[in-house]
Amino acid sequence: MRPQDQRQSHTISFFYKGKEQKGFGPGARTLLLFLLLLPLAELQAQLRLSPLPLQQRAAHVSGKGSPAARLLATPGDTLSLPFWDDFSYSGYQPDSMRWPQSQTTIRTDGLAIRPPSWGVITFDGVLADGKPHNPTNLSGPADELVSAPLDLSGLSAAEQGSVWLSFFWQLQGRGERPDQLDSLKLFFLDSDTTWHQVWSQGGNPQTDATLFSQELLSLAQAGTARGVSFFHRGFRFKFQSFNRLNGQFDQWHLDWVYLNSGRSATNRYYDDQTVSEGFASLFAPYTALPISQYFASPGAYATTIDFTFFNLQPPPPFLSGGETFDLRIRSSEGEPITSLASSQLVRTEQGDLLEGQTYVNMRLPVNLAEALAPYADRDSLYLISRLQLNSLIEEQPFFARNDVLETTNVLHDYFAYDDGTAEFGAGLNGRGQRLAYRFQLAERDTLTHISIYFPYYNSSSAGRSLSLQVWTNLNGLGEGEDVLLYSQGVVAQQAGIDGFITYTLNTPQVLQPGAFFIGFEQTSAGDLPIGFDRNTDSHGEVFYSTNGQDWENTFTEAGSLMLRPHFRTGVDPQTLSVDDRLFPPVSLYPNPSRGQLRVESAARQLRLYDVQGRLVLSQPAEPRTELDLRHLRPGLYLLQLQYPQGIQTKRVVLVR
């Protein structure tokens, strides 16, 4: 461990090692995100958060700009001035016309905080395909972003003196902070194919990780200082990070790169209004809801919309090009997209974050319940929120690319706090530990499925065992002890980047209005993280138990687990369960029992699980089976009855 890697332990402690090929290896770097009460040597079972390979992330927003946003060139062409890219487009890769040789960096949304415009390039220690530059804990040249060649040979002496390159940078953002000896550097290519370092920024611990800074460099001055000329037919520039090479650590973010003539050292403002960040949800705190739950209590969810956009012109005043917001709707029944609401935005906050460029937070009150009322009978609704700015400058239409931002929220059959993309993985790392996630029902409903995203971590988690669980109360968080309604053994599966695995409950669970919890107990050794979304925040709903009994709610890192409960249509919530209508009658007597239980059924096999999901009994079933359970502790057990058509689950209570 390098000296600068050491962190002091306060409320939240961080300690690290490295990252191996495609994930974290033994003794890998971990990020502990809760109060440490034990010496580091004793830490065995804790809720942990760790970065994922960048390939496991996707943009949670999408944008559409002017067709002129793309240069009329193909990869490999020599470009001419002006050169500009703000990365406000979809996809993981930077524009291959501007950056044809950049195979290590990746374009991200949500990791940077209030960028000049949405979409940035993120530098760290992994390649664009998610693999580390080097699986060992070494430091050195890591990600790089190399421009296409530019022909600067025809510029006059006066024009050469006015060619400046500007860009904005931020360290860490919502990612992992660079250490003091890490750096982001800029190089220029001379006519002798030699790269010259012209700028460097170190991981200063005093640098504000929430702000972007702008840099301007003169090509003429940089060349004179080094005794070379950068004004030739094949000029290029390159950004490169220097940091640990074994993982998604030591992160830098780059935005709004602009190279042109006719500039000077004071040319720090631009005729561009840009969308910086958008909201995550129309239904706060959720990003998605079962449609029936929404219409049961539409007033329970936030209906205001916040955007942040920048005016890159000098203040004051804030020049408005006419900011409009349009809320559109599409149903699963194939209807065309129609507009629900359209309005000018109302400014609620204004400030100065980009060295003089102003930002404005825009809020639009929307009577969503009234607008959606005619659609209450639909199976699902997709709400598309679109922010549109009007570009102020006609002669530079490519600036219009960052004037549009869209987000989509879903009303269908599931709850979600997350936005569908994972920046990190969070989870426990030992057999017998439990994780629970709290949700709220507005009306009685039947839980039928649970979805989880298992990212690649250390090695494939596919095949590792866990017990899905459903509670209505957790020990210490309300009146009484744990109320475990359901437990079902499953195995982890993986379905690609941000791919959810949906598990069908063998016995759907009828839940009453109010709080309920879904989660799992780990029944195999090793790490079993699930996706963790940094762009939303529901960390207050996360609970964990490292001893299988006592629950904690001390997870403090902002974000949301990618764990979702489903309430499928077509299931009658007034019945005990769908399975009770599918299977023959069953009798359990006496129940509660002092240990001797008679089971009368047509089942072929009986399996009994404790509340932690551990199998405590398995035997063939007879029409009348006598079970001797006197050796078991008092408490709640789940009896699975296996039939040719499926599995039915019944609760058994043992008393003394």
Specify the pLDDT at position 577. 43
Provide the CB-side half-sphere exposure for 423 (13 A, CA).
27
CA distance 458 to 253: 26
SS3 61: coil
Contact 490, 413 (CB under 8 A): no
Enumerate the β-bridge partners of residue 309.
Answer: 275, 360
Q: What angle do CA 331, 337, 338 make, to 5 degrees?
A: 105
Q: Which residues have CB under 8 Å from 626's CB, separation 6+?
A: 596, 597, 598, 599
Enumerate the β-bridge partners of residue 646.
Answer: 643
Residues in the chain, overall count: 656
Which tokens go with 129? 């395909």
Determine the straight-line distance between the first and last CA of the chain, rounded to whole angstroms: 55
Specify the pLDDT at position 290. 94
pLDDT mean for each 10 residues of the chain (656 residues): 28 24 25 24 45 39 33 61 92 88 81 90 82 81 95 95 97 90 96 94 93 96 96 96 86 96 91 81 90 88 75 62 71 69 66 66 68 82 81 58 84 92 79 92 92 75 87 78 87 80 90 93 85 89 86 86 85 45 79 90 88 79 93 85 77 83
Which tokens go with 363? 């809020």
Q: How many CB atoms lie within 10 A of CB 34?
A: 20
Contact 34, 46 (CB under 8 A): yes
User: What residue ranges define each of the domains in the chain, with the CATH number in brackets?
Assistant: 77-268 (2.60.120.260), 275-412 (2.60.40), 424-568 (2.60.120), 586-654 (2.60.40.3080)
Contact 443, 293 (CB under 8 A): yes
Specify the pLDDT at position 396. 54
CA distance 263 to 411: 50
For residue 640, the one-letter residue type is Q
Q: Which residues have CB under 8 Å from 394's CB, separation 6+?
A: none
* Residue among 50, 4, 422, 428 at smallest CA distance from 248: 50
CA distance 409 to 314: 35
Q: Which residues have CB under 8 Å from 135's CB, separation 6+?
A: 18, 19, 20, 21, 25, 246
Contact 78, 151 (CB under 8 A): yes
CA distance 451 to 494: 12
Specify the pLDDT at position 20. 26
SS3 407: strand
Specify the pLDDT at position 283. 87
* Residue among 598, 615, 609 at smallest CA distance from 635: 609
Tokens 């002890």 found at: 481
CA distance 290 to 431: 33
Q: What H or E segment, with its residue span, contains residue 291?
A: helix 291-296
For residue 597, the one-letter residue type is L
Strands 404-412 and 288-290: parallel
Q: State how far the alpha carbon of 27 is from the alpha carbons of 4, 9, 18, 45, 426, in Å.
A: 19, 19, 8, 14, 16
pLDDT in tens, 272-305: 888 888 777 888 899 999 998 998 888 888 766 7
The DSSP-derived string for 189-250 is: E-TTS-EEEEEEEE--TTS-TT--EEEEEEHHHHHHHHT----STTB-EEEEEEEESSSS-S
The distance of Cα 512 from the centroid of its chain, to the nearest Å, equals 30
Specify the pLDDT at position 74. 46
SS3 580: helix
For the CA atoms of 445, 448, 453, 459, what is the dihedral angle to 10 degrees? Answer: 140
Alpha helices in 315-364 (DSSP H): none
pLDDT in tens, 590-604: 988 899 999 999 999
Specify the pLDDT at position 358. 63
With 0-12 / 13-18 / 19 or more C-beta atoms within 10 angstroms meaning exposed / middle / buried, residue 124 is: buried
Contact 442, 292 (CB under 8 A): no
* Residue among 242, 229, 122 at smallest CA distance from 182: 242
Which tokens go with 237? 């520039």
